[in-house]
A and B are shown apart, each in its own frame.
Chain A
Amino acid sequence: MKLKSATKLPALLTCVEARPLTDLAEIELSGCYISDLLSDVLANAQPGMLWVTIHTHRNVVSVASMKDITAVLFTCGRKPEPAIVTEAAEKGIMLLSTPLTTYETAGKLWKAGLR
């Protein structure tokens, strides 16, 4: 799941039909981590990564902030409450949402070169 190489964020929008929930900066991602277990992300994600999850709880923002995650992509069309989006923006974490499932998302991101 831990992937090398880097890809710029806005380009990923199209391949997974993601919609930005916060302002997006053009930024290199250092890789991607997919997990719905917060402690797992705390243990294994790396700074600068994209984190793909179905969780939209505000603890996602806390964990992302703690690990210096660049962006969080919510799958299955999930979106956090506006207050959580605001909190993420304040902490400099970009949020996106895709209608695709986590599996489909992972496949398309991999194909797009995010490794």
Chain B
Amino acid sequence: MTQGVPVEKKKAAARVEPNANGHKRFKSLHARLTGAMRKPTDTPERSLPTSTPTEPAAPVSTVENAPNAAEKRQVSFAQVLVYELRVRDAMTSPPITATATDTLRSIQHLMKAHRVSGVPILANDVLVGIVSIEDIINALDEGHINDPVEQWMSRKIVTLRDHFSLVRAVAEFDRHGYGRFPVLDANNRLVGVITRGDITVCLMHQLERRAEEVVAKEAALVATRAADEKAHRIVINTDVKSGDFESAGKLSQRIREVLRARGIAPEILRRAAIIAYEAETNIIIHSLGGRITTAIDAIKVRIRAVDRGPGIENVDLAMQEGWSTAGPLARELGFGAGMGLPNMKRCADEFTIQSELGGGTRLQAAVFLQKAEARL
């Protein structure tokens, strides 16, 4: 008797996976596989074992078995999987087995109970034969169903090694037409049984797992890009005109928008906005005009205000709260409280001011975005 017949195949397929055309799909996959991997040193047919029962085939090394890099680029992902995966990854283990002295009847019950269509037979833990469902049908037909299995089992067994690649297993299925192979380990111990359905299911699971990995990797990439975007430096150059009260607040508005979009806490972005606003209004009220350069990165907001003069006579005095040289128009509008510079200093994590009469005023302030504590 053979290891596989059409009846068994159908049953095996029905047992392991719901995909009725799994075999057909696998055939086409295999066709593509053999087409893609054919090269002088690694032709599956050439490295196949002969059908000598229980004679282990020469082990195929991973290197020989795997496609080279150039081929890997050409083969599909499923094909790569078939090269990478081993028989031990797909086989059913431990296998359902019987002993040589068991009756065919008991094996029939075993097949029914475990929904398998082939059972390896052991004698003293050594694989000595295999019984397929066809053997059982014949036994029922011919009336020897109660005989010990050793009288009727197939003794001509082709086995696979657990370290064989799945692509080789597929080739063996095509070559022998069996529905299953017993799988031996390096010590010739029976460790499992593999069917085409097992291979299909294994591939499906692997594809699913890899797909999940790809999705996770993509999500990580998106997160990294968002972080990069967050770290991306923005520089805003704002020219500020003397007496232009109407424009005051536009820069600080922009800074708030940028920081808010980056998820910066309101207390922190408010400090940066206040510094920018005070710097703007200082230039508007007191200077001949100037420029504010705002640089925002992941670490901090740096605001640098430089004006064209006339400069501050006494910087220490200017830093005192309530001291102001603002003119009547500015005061009428609510400016000139003498609180601008002290406000900026209080809001800033770093603050420097340099000024000389007749020259200009240079002011630099930084707000660190990481710091959680609120100052205002």
A positions within 8 Å CB-CB of B = 36-40, 42-43, 47, 53, 55, 57-63, 65-68
Contacts and interface: CB of A to CB of B under 8 A. Distances in A.
B346 to A, nearest CB: 7
B334 A37 contact: yes
Interface of B: 245-246, 248-249, 252-253, 256, 266, 270, 273-274, 277-278, 281, 333-340, 342-343, 346, 376
B339 A58 contact: no
Given A59-B245, A62-B253, A65-B253, A39 B340 contact: yes
A68 B270 contact: yes
B286 to A, nearest CB: 13
A contact face: mostly helix, strand, loop, or mixed: helix
Contacts of A40: 337, 339
Contacts of A60: 334
A106 to B, nearest CB: 18
Given A43-B343, A43-B376, A58-B246, A66 B270 contact: yes
B340 A57 contact: no
B278 A39 contact: yes
A3 B376 CA distance: 16
A68 B266 contact: yes
A55 B334 contact: yes
Contacts of B376: 43
Given A59-B335, A62-B253, 20 more contacts: A37-B337, A37-B339, A38-B281, A39-B337, A40-B337, A40-B339, A42-B274, A43-B339, A43-B376, A47-B266, A59-B248, A59-B249, A59-B334, A61-B249, A62-B277, A65-B249, A65-B253, A66-B256, A68-B266, A68-B270
A59 B336 CA distance: 13
Contacts of B256: 65-66
17 contacts: A37-B334, A37-B339, A38-B281, A38-B333, A38-B335, A42-B274, A42-B277, A42-B339, A43-B346, A53-B334, A57-B245, A58-B249, A62-B248, A65-B249, A65-B253, A65-B256, A66-B249
A58 B250 CA distance: 11
Nearest to B335: A38
A36 B333 CA distance: 8
A62 B252 contact: yes
A113 to B, nearest CB: 26
A39 B252 contact: no
Contact of B335 (A39, A47, A58, A68): A39
A77 B253 CA distance: 28
A40 B274 CA distance: 11
A35 to B, nearest CB: 8
A51 to B, nearest CB: 11
Contacts of A42: 274, 277-278, 339, 343
A38 B335 CA distance: 6
Nearest to A57: B333
Contact of A63 (B246, B277, B338, B340): B277
B330 to A, nearest CB: 10
Contacts of A53: 334
Contacts of B346: 43
A58 to B, nearest CB: 7
Contacts of B248: 59, 62
Given A42-B277, A43-B346, A47-B266, A62 B249 contact: yes
A67 B252 CA distance: 11
Contacts of A66: 249, 252, 256, 270, 273-274, 277
Contacts of B335: 37-39, 59
